[in-house]
Structure 1
Amino acid sequence: MVDSVLIEGLEVETVVGVYDWERRINQCLLVDLEMAWDNRVPGASDDVSDALDYAAVSERVTACLKGLQPKLLERGAEVLAGELQEVFGVTWLRLTLRKPGAVPAAQAVGVRIERGQR
């Protein structure tokens, strides 16, 4: 299967970082997701109940990262990937987690992981 569902540039405001000052403020994280999903069924039925609900996925991403408040992006990515696979039955995903402004000379820093089998 090569079909996928995308969510790109999802903004999540949460506590993130290792420094004391970072633990006292909210910062923006940007989330990009590509999730394997057989789109033939919803493509044929035109019924949202057959599709991967990207609104529900987006809400889950936001709730997970806000609740987790990770020190490291790596931790946030790992926990989030596991939760999405478990809750939504996604067999494979590629997740990019970016922290804009973390390095003054860079637009953003981040991590990208892939989990599961395509």
Structure 2
Amino acid sequence: MDRVVIEGLTINATIGIFDWEQRILQPLVIDLDMAWNNAKPAQTKDIADALDYAAVSDAVVNLISAQPWGLIEDVAERVAALILQDFSVPQVRVRVAKPTAVKQATTVAVSIEREASA
């Protein structure tokens, strides 16, 4: 299966389990790897046949910005569900990184892979 990839989508979010984290914005870095048949838009040259990565990006930004979050695991699950449902993507890999979570690390992240229900 072909893929459409969005890497490094950075969103300032209210994220964390500590009280002080719920009072600040912290960056989340989202990577998306979505299954998509790219042969059809390549042949038709019609944007309507392509996966609109700008619309996907906007939807993810809006979702994450709309509310405070506790765990990046929850963010990953909700992003995956949004993409599968709203964009008819058959399979998605979502990586959510929180670069400011551990001072001694470059980043911490979770990665999940989900498929659309049959």
Q: Alignment identity in percent? A: 43
What is the number of equivalent residue pairs in this alignment? 116
Segments ≥4 residues shifted beyond 6 Å? none
Deviations 1:7-56 (A, max 9, x none): 00000111000111110111100000000000011010111111000000
Amino acid at match of 2:75: G
Instruction: Output the aligned Cα RMSD.
Output: 0.9
SS at match of 1:71: coil
State how far apart, in whole Å, the 2-side matches of 1:37 and 1:58 are.
16
For normalisation by structure 2, the TM-score amounts to: 0.95
Task: Quote the offset at 1:86 in angstroms.
Answer: 0.4
Residue 39 (structure 1) aligns with: 38
Q: Which runs of 5+ in 2 are unaligned?
A: none
State how far apart, in whole Å, the 2-side matches of 1:100 and 1:114 are.
21
Residue 85 (structure 1) aligns with: 84
Residue 70 (structure 1) aligns with: 69
Task: Quote the offset at 1:111 in angstroms.
Answer: 0.2
Aligned residues of 1:68 and 1:76 also touching (Cα < 8 A) = no
SS at match of 1:11: strand
Residue 18 (structure 1) aligns with: 17
For normalisation by structure 1, the TM-score amounts to: 0.95
Aligned residues of 1:74 and 1:111 also touching (Cα < 8 A) = yes
Residue 56 (structure 1) aligns with: 55
Amino acid at match of 2:41: P
Q: Which moved more, 1:66-75 or 1:19-28?
A: 66-75
Task: Quote the offset at 1:93 in angstroms.
Answer: 0.5
Task: Quote the offset at 1:82 in angstroms.
Answer: 0.5
